[in-house]
Amino acid sequence: MQAGASHLWLHASPIQTLVTQADRRILVEGRGCRVTDAQGHTYLDALSGQWLVNVGHGRAEIAEAMARQAKALAYGNASRAATLPAIQLAAVLAHLTPGDLSTVFFSSGGSEAVESALKIARQYHALRGEPERYKVIARRGSYHGATYGAMSASGSRSGVDSYFGPLLSGTLSVSAPYCYRCDYRKTYPECDVYCVDAIEDLLRYESPNTVAAVIAEPVSAACGIVVPPAEYLPRLREICDRHGVLLILDEVITGFGRTGKMFASEHWDVVPDIMTLAKGLSSGYAPIAATVCRQPIADIFGGANGKAIGHLLTFGGQPVACAAALANLDILQRENLVRNAEQQGAYLLSRLHDLASRHPSVGDVRGLGLLCALELVTDRRTQQPFPVDGPEIHYLLEKLAELGVLTRAEGNLYLAPPLCIERHEIDELTGIVDTALSHFEE
Ligand code: PMP
């Protein structure tokens, strides 16, 4: 094969597409909120890579911690012995996560963390003598991962069933609390958050003692940064408790400060039974994820001498990845980046509202902390969306890149920069978005 003509499988929305290197910018370096490509062009990274570089690019402390651990011990015998970084990281996660979330199962990415959560939920019920509780309820439009279990519980069927079906049986979906396009044609607050009561209706219809878990993101990124009404998550917690169903909150994107609190569920004081974590756990410096369970779940498994989770992953808790996560969490806390996300996020949202008042293509502005989106419409009155992968959206993304911003857009333009972003960088970012939207609307 000729030099430069090699093909890469790269991620492209909505499905994997074979593309050549020439189709993509090749990024070679990053510092803080900026990345540089092979041609020397520098961009503001408005998506933190893929919603994950929370502490910013180019953190030498993390690289050094990884090198130290790789030199000391790159791998331990996962089934017979633990390693120090894994023990330390589990302790840090037990401390950081709310309530009695305390027992940690490590894996290498968000899909595996979700897969583990689904299996733990089913095995938990089976160990309690209720093996018929196997169904999982997810929300429509959500995304929980690419493996079969996670994909089946993702509540997004378009472009999936036709290629990969039939999916895992017993996965059901309900509408998300997406007020801008409410599936029930209701309006908040008159609706009294009907969409969460719809979950209880579905549970009753299915017979609650057949349902293992409800899975949801506290703020759904894939749905378009859907921040639920205040009542939604507390009421979902009550519904799950009433019917003995486990609540899995997927904080793969929202965890580690992204929404201005360490975990998004803390905005509503809701403690899930199982929390899934990945991305910001290492800020992308190493592939690592965690599934954190509440004490009563761990008790059913009976700890180290009891029933093992029927699931072992070679790279779960790999010590170099744990060392990266520890160094990353140290920076996150030492530099008060969660507080910075809260403050800069509020400022970013105010700038985005200002843009919306001047740009007719912006139908809605949503966000919490540094997890924001502009929903783009061809007509505000009809709320007609742009085709997800259409030429208009491609044009907008190219215009943004030309002006120095890399991000992602489908029906929404996503803005989720690293948590170390400063006010002047938000001014620069929103200034560029302003100019790009003016071109887009010409
Ligand atoms: N859960 C959520 C909420 C996600 O957004 C993603 C990926 N973006 C995943 C799970 C899967 O994570 P991964 O790509 O690391 O497997």
What are the tens digits of pLDDT across the range 113-131?
A: 999 999 999 999 999 999 9
425 - beta bridge partners?
Answer: none
Residues 395 and 380 in one domain: yes
In the structure, how many helices (H) and strands (E) does the chain have? 13, 17
318: Cα separation from own chain's centroid: 22
Q: Is the pLDDT of residue 7 over 70?
A: no
Residues 211 and 324 in one domain: yes
Please, which pLDDT band fits residue 184 given cuts at 50, 70 and 90?
A: very high
Residues 307 and 392 in one domain: no
Nearest atom in ligand 1 to 112's CA: 16
Residues 108 and 245 in one domain: yes
Residues 153 and 214 in one domain: yes
pLDDT of residue 19: 46
Q: Is residue 115 part of a domain?
A: yes
Mean pLDDT of the chain: 92
pLDDT of residue 250: 98
Q: Any idea which of 116-125, 186-195, 309-318, 415-424 has the lowest mean pLDDT?
A: 309-318
Q: What is the pLDDT of residues 147-166, one digit of tens each?
A: 999 999 887 666 566 678 77
Residues 75 and 119 in one domain: yes
**Strands 289-294 and 362-368, sheet pairing:** unpaired
Q: Is the CB–ligand 1 distance for residue 109 below 6 Å?
A: yes
The pick from 279, 281, 283 for probing ligand 1's pocket by mutation, whose C-beta has the most ligand atoms within 8 angstroms, reads 279
Residue with tokens 């969490």: 329
What residue ranges in 301-418 does DSSP mark as E strands? Answer: 362-368, 371-379, 384-385, 405-406, 412-415
Average of per-residue pLDDT across 341-349: 98
Name the DSSP letter for residue 272: -
% the chain with pLDDT above 90: 81
Domains of the chain: total = 2
**Domain extent at residue 50:** 7-55+336-441
3-state secondary structure of 327: helix
pLDDT of residue 110: 98
Average of per-residue pLDDT across 344-365: 98
CA atoms of 249 and 138, how far apart (whole Å): 11
Q: Is the CB–ligand 1 distance for residue 278 below 6 Å?
A: yes
Q: Is the CB–ligand 1 distance for residue 145 below 6 Å?
A: yes
Residues 340 and 326 in one domain: no
- Asked which of 289, 309, 334 is the last residue of a domain, the reply is 334
Q: Any idea which of 12-16, 60-64, 164-168, 181-185 has the lowest mean pLDDT?
A: 12-16
3-state SS of 100-128 is CEEEEEEECCHHHHHHHHHHHHHHHHHHC
Q: Is the pLDDT of residue 45 over 80?
A: yes
Q: Is the CB–ligand 1 distance for residue 47 below 6 Å?
A: no
% the chain with pLDDT above 70: 91
Average of per-residue pLDDT across 315-339: 97
Residues 32 and 139 in one domain: no
Q: Is the pLDDT of residue 93 over 80?
A: yes
Q: Any idea which of 23-32, 179-188, 199-208, 400-409 has the lowest mean pLDDT?
A: 23-32
Q: What is the CATH number of the domain that holds 388?
A: 3.90.1150.10
Residues 122 and 241 in one domain: yes
Residues 365 and 256 in one domain: no
Residues 210 and 171 in one domain: yes
Q: Is the pLDDT of residue 20 over 60?
A: no
- Asked which of 334, 354, 385 is the last residue of a domain, the reply is 334
Q: Is residue 2 part of a domain?
A: no
Average of per-residue pLDDT across 86-102: 97
- Asked which of 280, 303, 334 is the last residue of a domain, the reply is 334
Q: Is the CB–ligand 1 distance for residue 110 below 6 Å?
A: yes
CA atoms of 2 and 15, how far apart (whole Å): 27
pLDDT of residue 2: 41
Q: Is the CB–ligand 1 distance for residue 414 below 6 Å?
A: no
Is pTM beyond 0.80? Reply is: yes
Q: Does an H or E element contain 243, and which?
A: helix 232-243
CA atoms of 53 and 258, how far apart (whole Å): 10
pLDDT of residue 158: 61
Q: What is the CATH number of the domain that holds 203?
A: 3.40.640.10
Nearest atom in ligand 1 to 150's CA: 10
Residues 245 and 265 in one domain: yes
Please, which pLDDT band fits residue 15 given cuts at 50, 70 and 90?
A: very low
pLDDT of residue 100: 95
pLDDT of residue 80: 74
Tell me, in angstroms, the distance from the centre of ligand 1 to residue 8's CA: 21
Q: Any idea which of 182-191, 277-286, 304-313, 328-337 has the lowest mean pLDDT?
A: 304-313
Q: Is residue 1 part of a domain?
A: no
pLDDT of residue 223: 87
ipTM rounded to 2 decimals = 0.99
